Amino acid sequence: MRALWIGVAAAALLAACGEGPTGESSPAPTQQSARQDFAAAPDTASLPQRLKDGEVKPGQVVGTYLQRIELIDQSGPTLQSVIAVNPEAVAQARALEEAVASGEEPGALYGLPILVKDNIETFELPTTAGSLALKDNNTGRDAPVIARLRDAGAIILGKTNLSEWANFRSSQSVSGWSGVGGLSRNPHDLSRNTCGSSAGSGAAVAAGLAWGALGTETNGSVICPSASNGIVGFKPTVGLVSRSLVVPISPSQDTIGPMTTSVRDAAMILTAIAGTDERDAATAEADDRKTDYVAGLEGASLEGIRIGVLRWAQSDDPREQAVFDEALARAEAAGAILVDIDEANLNLSGGDAFTVLKAEFKESLNAYLAEAAPEVQTRTLADVIAFNEANEKEMSVFGQDILIDSEAMPGLDDEGYRTALSNAQSATREGGVDRFLEENDVQFLIAPSFGPAFKIDLVRGDIIANSAGAGWVAAIAGYPHLTLPMGDVSGLPLGLSIMSGKWMDAEVLAVGQAFEEILPPRLIPTFRASEIEAEGFAEAASPAR
């Protein structure tokens, strides 16, 4: 079904439009030409202005990205980052063109194609969370964030693959794998993982399959795939963006975030999607807190900015540390004042943090499933567990111990849950991010986002040799966190993390813009089959002659 959706949509566009990305007639590209042109993605930086100026039209842009999805994601390297394309994308793009031609003012995201993680509802496609139990979840609804994107003129290009149930199923999971979408692959090295759970969004944006994408994060699910695929990812303050009509894990930690190739593009998306939603109580303050995040980037500078360096979260690999040290040196040269923070001293129990997630997952998922599409047969977490047990595909790679443990949890009125939530939040807020900022008189905290993408292992699951980073602190606290490219090791991207306190989203994006201006440009994927294809590796791996 996935292949049919993608192929039919692309063919329909080419037949209807007869245009390539420049407006000229162009034949359907061959496999050979596509393989030679994998890296030639559209220029995302100039695309918004070119669309507004009329240099390119939404239909043409949609066509370009649909071609790349078919030739790179479905064929060629076979990234498997896109579960399905929007069958109405062509018609919607054409309607948008006509509306603007008739005098309608183009929105801030006019004609920009955006992919959406497949746990966020869009009316054209089912919302599966990657699970075959939800393959028929055609609700015919738009989540509020999707409605806001459309109001801003964006085109919903399709749905991206994800770690099934947003990576909240098994302690031995393979990130980027779902029963519906299969296994997503990292475009920088196809033998390596995309990280998760917003795996498809990260891989697709890095590979140039969309201008931008939405991911969701509970604990690292925007930041890790963004860093591992070499793009920008932003996790907003929990409560800035609505989570209504999103398959949930944790109301206290879940949020939606933009994944793009630049800080500016992330700010554009955030400006569109931030705001209060009466169906999501956490967003009560969002209208008062949101701002024009793009305007906030103007004049961004590191001059005189005090920044805490989380030395306790840096890598013990000298190659990775060299990349981080270079980023720090560039920041100091740009006028930043760096303050080392050597110890975490967090009074946090991992058991408390996990208790919160399991308890909230059971409660919130049951509520979501109760209102799923009529065709959906699994109406509770217990139903999902039973479905998986009876489905060979679902159990072919790993089990579901986290689902089983969650089903055994008491309700949210349980004293143990309430205590765990209080402990986890106070440890990461007052005893964590807030304390780091205050005690060191700094405005932001930085660290490596993660190590290089790890190897895909379908037998043992995710094996992370070096887990640098401190994003889990911001995730549990519900505070803003930005990752952006800072360099690479052997052709594998590394990200720089920037965090701060609650509602400091605009400030984090602005300092991120200042960092982006001094750091190396993002790494363009080569779609190599393994690291031995990287420069110098093939020769080193060959026997002596």
Banded model confidence at residue 468, pLDDT cuts 50, 70, 90 = very high
Banded model confidence at residue 41, pLDDT cuts 50, 70, 90 = confident
- Per-residue pLDDT, 506: 99
Phi, psi (degrees; rounded to nearest 5) at 341: -120, 105
| CB of 121 closer than 8 Å to CB of 139 | yes
The residues that are catalytic are 117, 197, 221
Q: How far apart are CA 184 and CA 507, in angstroms?
A: 33
CA torsion 504→509→514→515, rounded to 10°? 100
pLDDT tens digits for range 142-165: 999 999 999 999 999 999 999 999
Bond before 197 cis per omega within 30 degrees: yes
Banded model confidence at residue 543, pLDDT cuts 50, 70, 90 = confident
The mean pLDDT value of the chain amounts to 92
31 CB contacts (<8 Å, ≥6 apart)? Answer: 71, 75, 76
Banded model confidence at residue 545, pLDDT cuts 50, 70, 90 = low
Please say if the pLDDT value at position 393 is more than 80: yes
Across residues 213-224, what is the average pLDDT? Answer: 98
| CB of 6 closer than 8 Å to CB of 223 | no
Banded model confidence at residue 3, pLDDT cuts 50, 70, 90 = very low
- Per-residue pLDDT, 361: 98
Please say if the pLDDT value at position 140 is more than 90: yes
281 CB contacts (<8 Å, ≥6 apart)? Answer: none
Across residues 426-447, what is the average pLDDT? Answer: 98
pLDDT tens digits for range 317-351: 999 999 999 999 999 999 999 999 999 999 998 89
Q: How far apart are CA 285 and CA 276, in angstroms?
A: 7
Banded model confidence at residue 530, pLDDT cuts 50, 70, 90 = confident
- Per-residue pLDDT, 541: 66
Please say if the pLDDT value at position 130 is more than 90: yes
Q: Which residue has the higher pLDDT, 458 or 22?
A: 458
Helix (H) / strand (E) element for 350: namely helix 350-370
Taking the CB of residue 110, how many other CB atoms lie within 10 A of it? 20
pLDDT tens digits for range 277-319: 999 999 999 999 999 999 999 999 999 999 999 999 999 999 9
Residue 506 falls in which region: left (phi positive, over 0), alpha (psi -120 to 50) or beta: alpha
**Both tokens assigned to 259:** 């994944």
Helix segments in 131-218, DSSP class H:
144-151, 164-167, 199-206
Banded model confidence at residue 542, pLDDT cuts 50, 70, 90 = low
Banded model confidence at residue 34, pLDDT cuts 50, 70, 90 = very low
Residue 212 falls in which region: left (phi positive, over 0), alpha (psi -120 to 50) or beta: beta
